[in-house]
Amino acid sequence: MIQPNLLDYSKGLLNRSEGERIKAHIGRCEECAALLAEEASFDRTLARLPEEMPANDVWALIRVRTKPRRFRPLAALEIMVNTRMRRVVATTATMAAVIGAFFIVNWPTYQPPVQPTNVQVNVVAVSDEPLAQHTDAVFDVIEKM
Amino acid sequence: MIALMAMPVAVRALDLSADQKQKLKAVGAEARANIESQRNMLGHARMDLVGIYRVYKLDEHKAQDAMSRIGSAQKALLEAQLDNQNKIRQILNADQFADFQRMISIRVHHPGMAIESPFEVKVLDDAVDAAIRSQTNLTPDQTRRVEQIKRVGEKRQKIMDSMRQSVQELTGVYSKFDLDSKAARKLVDSIHRDQMSLMWMAHRRQQAIRAVLGEDQFNQVQQSIEQQLKARPHADHRFKGDSDRKSPQGDHDK
C-alpha cells in the first residue's frame, strides 16, 4: 500500500508513522521513487494552469431543472389523464353534459305529467232542477224495497 | 234462508217492518207523482219561452208569463224534495235512515257535479254567440250591447258556481237523519234565487241580442237553432214522462 499514498505523501497529508514508512520504502525502491517524482511533477503542472470558469454554468442548469415547479393546470390535467381519477371525472362530466343537454332541448316544452285531480266532473245537473239526480235516487231506492 | 236470499237487498239492509215499507212506498209514489207533474209543467213553460225567444219581435208579456211559470215550477220541485225528506224521516229510525242514505249515496256522485243551463237555453245561447262573434262594423250602441252580453255570460258562470255549492250543501243536509230544517230552507231559497237570476239574465241577454242583430240575421240564426233542437240528445229526458226517463243510477243495479 505504498503507491496509492504517494501523492498524499508528497503533499504532507499523511501522519508521521505512515510518512516515515513510505520515506524508508522510497529510499530502497527505485520504481516507487520514480512514480513519486512523476506524481509531484504532474501536480506542479496542474498548479500552474490558470483557473477558468466553465462557459456554461452546469450547476445553474441543474438547479433550474430540479427546483419545485409552479402549479400548471394543464400539466396537472395531463397527469390526471393517466390516473383513475381521470375516469371518475370524465364519467361525471359526461353525465352532467347529457342531463344538461336534455333539459336545454326539452325546457320550452317539458311539462310534468298531469296528475289526475280527486274531483272529476261526473254529473252535470241542469239548473232548472239541480237536485234531480238525488231525487231520482231516493225514488229508485224506495221502489226497489 | 232461501226466503231471506230472495228478498231485495234494500229490504234486508233496512230491516223494515211491513207497515214501514207500505208507508215509505206510499210517500215515494206521492212525491214522484208531484215531482213528475212539476217537471212536465216546467218543461212546457221552458219550451214556451224558447218559442217566444225565437221570434225577433220579443213579446215581453208572454215572456214574463212563461218565466213566472218556470220560476213557480222550479220552486215547487225544491219544496217537494224537502217535503219528501221530512216524510221519510217520519217513517224510518236513525239506523234505517243511515242504511237508506248509504244506498242513495252509491247512486249519486255530487263531488264532481257541475251545473249547466237547460239544453234549449244552451242551443239558443251558442247559436246567438256565434252570430254575434261574426258581426263587424258595429255601431257604438251595438258594441255597448255586445259588451253587456259578455258581462251577462261572466256573471252567469258565477251564479252557476254559487248554485253548485248550495246544491252540494243541501245534499249534505239531506244525508243526515236529524234534518236541519232551517239550513235546508235557507239553501232551498238560495238555489231558487240563483235560478231566478239565471232566468232574468237570459232574458236581458235576449233583449240585447235584438239590438245587435238585424231581423234577417236573427232569422238565419234560427235555422241553425231549429236543426240543433231536432237533433237533441236522446239521453236528455228531463221533461218527459217517467216511462222513458233514463235512470242515472241504472248501472248500479245491473
Looking from the CA of B33 toward its CB, the CA atoms found within 13 Å total 5
Q: Which residue of A has its CA nearest to B7?
A: A145
Q: d(Cα A94, Cα A115) in Å, to the nearest integer?
A: 32
| Residue A124 backbone phi and psi in degrees, to 5 | -115, 115
R_g of chain B computed on alpha carbons: 22
Per-residue pLDDT, B40: 94
- Give how far A109 is from chain B: nearest CA, Å: 30
Contacts A–B by Cβ distance under 8 A: 127
- Residues A95-113 pLDDT 10s: 999 888 887 766 544 444 4
Cross-chain residue pair B8–A130, CB shorter than 8 Å: no
Predicted-complex ipTM score: 0.76
Cross-chain residue pair B249–A136, CB shorter than 8 Å: yes
- Residues B226-241 pLDDT 10s: 777 777 665 444 433 3
Q: d(Cα A15, Cα A11) in Å, to the nearest integer?
A: 11
Average pLDDT over residues A125-139: 87
Task: Return the sign of the alpha-carbon dihedral for residues B242, B167, B228, B125.
Answer: positive
Per-residue pLDDT, A4: 82
- Indicate which of A134, A139, A144 best probes the interface with B, i.e. most B CBs within 10 Å of its own CB: A134
Output the nine-digit C-alpha cell for B35.
215531482
Of A28 and B116, the structure prediction assigns the larger pLDDT to A28
Percent of chain B residues past pLDDT 70, beyond the cut: 83
Q: C-alpha B85: how far from its chain's center?
A: 18
Q: C-alpha B243: how far from its chain's center?
A: 19
- Residues A21-75 pLDDT 10s: 888 998 899 888 888 888 888 888 877 777 666 556 666 666 666 666 667 777 7
Q: d(Cα B35, Cα B194) in Å, to the nearest integer?
A: 20
Find chain A residues with C-beta within 8 A of B179's C-beta: none
Cross-chain residue pair B249–A137, CB shorter than 8 Å: yes
**Which amino acid belongs to residue B228?**
Q
Question: Judged by CB atoms within 8 Å, which residues 200-229 of B form the interface with A?
Answer: none
Give the other-Cβ count within 10 Å of B244's Cβ: 8
Choose among A118, A127, A140: nearest Cβ to B249.
Answer: A140
Under the banding of pLDDT at 50, 70 and 90, the label for residue B246 is very low
- Check whether B186 has a pLDDT greater than 80: yes
Q: Which residue of A has its CA nearest to B170?
A: A131
Per-residue pLDDT, B57: 92
Per-residue pLDDT, B183: 95
The H-or-E segment that residue B26 falls in is helix B18-53
Q: Which residue of B has its CA nearest to A136?
A: B247
Q: d(Cα B200, Cα B206) in Å, to the nearest integer?
A: 10
Cross-chain residue pair B238–A134, CB shorter than 8 Å: no
Q: Flag the least confident range among A17-31, A70-84, A124-138, B66-80.
A: A70-84
Cross-chain residue pair A122–B112, CB shorter than 8 Å: yes
The whole-chain average pLDDT of chain B stands at 81
Cross-chain residue pair A141–B104, CB shorter than 8 Å: yes
Per-residue pLDDT, B64: 94
Choose among B103, B113, B118: nearest Cβ to A141.
Answer: B103
Cross-chain residue pair A123–B114, CB shorter than 8 Å: yes
Q: d(Cα A26, Cα A30) in Å, to the nearest integer?
A: 7
Predicted structure pTM score: 0.60
Of A70-74, B43-47, B184-188, B213-217, the range with the highest mean pLDDT is B184-188
Average pLDDT over residues B170-188: 94
The residues near B13 (Cβ < 8 Å, ≥ 6 apart) are: B99, B102, B103
Q: Give B125-130's long-range contacts (Cβ < 8 A, gap of 24+).
A: B125/B202, B125/B205, B126/B228, B127/B221, B127/B224, B127/B225, B127/B228, B128/B205, B128/B209, B128/B213, B128/B221, B130/B221, B130/B224
The residues near A36 (Cβ < 8 Å, ≥ 6 apart) are: A6, A9, A10, A26
Choose among B42, B116, B247: nearest Cβ to A136.
Answer: B247
- Residues B24-57 pLDDT 10s: 999 999 999 999 999 999 999 998 998 899 899 9
Of A91 and B75, the structure prediction assigns the larger pLDDT to B75
Find chain A residues with C-beta within 8 A of B116's C-beta: 124-127
